[in-house]
Chain A
């Protein structure tokens, strides 16, 4: 049978060579450059609007009372290192790649070099699987269905600029999706939204890298396509959960059940958030059901719960 497999893969290779049609390299480069240019132009326009807004805002602030400060871009855990200890590229040696059991707990590896002045304990090893208790579950919402997805989701691709080299440091990841209806409503009530919760355990500092990349993606992706609609994205800052967190809102003109934009100009929102707890990240994507918009308070609640479940599992 191995020969059969070799023959089949050889046939696939031959068919590909014979049938594949690829654009020339110059077309690939040109397309990439056009996408980058389009984003730069959009970003510049947004910056002009932002500067204008800041000027107007500062005049208002000077003439009236000062506005409250914007939320920080990330939350800082009380036990974290001082601000000068920014996430560095130096990565301590990965936990042993011969993974331990899922319930390995906090068996620190004393051979890990000191990470800094606070000498944090080494993270537990990358587990072989992610238990259900690490995810959002039926007690976290008025759940209609809960599905464990076949494959774990990767970093949110808000637009083509999304770039997650930390994918190479994923130890294990998995996702669940919950379909929920409004709290307190019974069987006959329609669904109000989905929440997809992905838990990823990284190796060698990948979790910190991922959060940096997610922030960079949120900055770069002021606009992006999603399910055939153009969404405008903006960062809503940290949520005070885990070691660091970020919530991003996507908005597009709301459409009725007929698919046409609503006459009242209302918006439909989606929310994507990430919370890092040590070497792990909980990613939460909250979307409305069909033409229903997701709600920010739901997204914040799900993110907070997901962070707690992840912390309870990895502690």
Chain B
């Protein structure tokens, strides 16, 4: 018997973090929501395994990164499920920082995007990222360095463009 209560607590405590991660990986909030719901669906189907996993959140992140990479595959109709819960509450557009960041992240290769997102969203150290991605520490160090450098270059160029446009 799977422990529904434990799953619900896990979902409540972790789902927003996972959407942030999905958003950083895909650059689209709606897509991130779909991917995250799909990942939790998988987690519940395999809850006996996930519940005793030494790091259930890492298991979920891995599933999300896989779904984000393979997003050419179809996802279950989570938007249909949500539509049954009523119309969405009105929300403002994403902030300018978010728009610029997601656009910049999309220009990075998937491994750099993943490393940078894990570092900034989950405050993970190089060693922790290395363990989660199964990559050597030196490789992750290089990913983070390249990721930061490339993001900084893109963001700087965007800001320069904004200043130029404002003048």
Contact = CB atoms under 8 A, between A and B. Distances in A.
B82 interface: yes
Interface size class of A (residues with CB under 8 A): 35 or more
B98 A15 contact: yes
Contact of A167 (B11, B33, B62, B92): B62
Given A25-B7, A98-B136, A161-B45, A11 B109 contact: no
B19 A15 contact: no
A1 B37 contact: no
Contacts of A161: 45
Contacts of A23: 37, 78, 81-82, 85
A15 B41 CA distance: 24
Nearest to A22: B15
A185 interface: no
Pick the most buried of A8, A24, A151: most chain B CB atoms within 10 A of its CB.
Answer: A8
A15 B94 contact: yes
Contacts, number: 149
Contacts of A99: 136, 139
Given A25-B8, A36-B45, A160-B76, A203 B134 contact: yes
B50 to A, nearest CB: 10
Nearest to B15: A22
Contacts of A167: 62, 66
B148 A165 contact: no
- Dominant SS among interface residues on chain A: helix
A16 B29 contact: yes
A5 B15 contact: no
Interface in A126-179: 128, 150-151, 153-154, 157, 160-161, 163, 165, 167-171
Contacts of A6: 120
Interface residues of B, number: 59
Interface in A1-41: 1-2, 4-9, 11-29, 31-33, 35-36
Pick the most buried of A21, A27, A157: most chain B CB atoms within 10 A of its CB.
Answer: A21
B136 A28 contact: no
Contact of A8 (B82, B92, B100): B100
B110 interface: yes
A20 B11 contact: no
A228 interface: yes
A97 interface: yes
Contacts of A203: 134
Interface in A181-215: 203
A32 B36 contact: no
A290 interface: no
B59 to A, nearest CB: 8
B100 A16 contact: no
Contact of A228 (B24, B62, B74, B116): B74
A21 B41 contact: no
Nearest to B66: A154
B48 to A, nearest CB: 12
B143 interface: no
Contacts of B88: 21
Contact of A171 (B24, B134, B138): B134
B101 A154 contact: no
A129 B84 CA distance: 47
A100 B110 CA distance: 23
Contacts of A21: 33, 82, 88
A63 B110 CA distance: 60
Contacts of A154: 66, 69-70
5 contacts: A5-B151, A8-B98, A22-B16, A31-B76, A157-B73
Q: For the complex of A and B, list the 6 residue pairs with the smallest distance between their C-beta atoms, beginning with the closest.
A: A11-B97, A8-B101, A9-B120, A25-B8, A1-B152, A25-B11
Interface of A: 1-2, 4-9, 11-29, 31-33, 35-36, 97-99, 128, 150-151, 153-154, 157, 160-161, 163, 165, 167-171, 203, 225-228
Given A5-B116, A22-B36, A32-B41, 19 more contacts: A1-B148, A5-B151, A13-B121, A15-B95, A16-B20, A20-B33, A21-B88, A23-B81, A23-B85, A24-B85, A27-B85, A28-B44, A29-B8, A31-B76, A153-B70, A160-B42, A161-B45, A167-B62, A169-B134
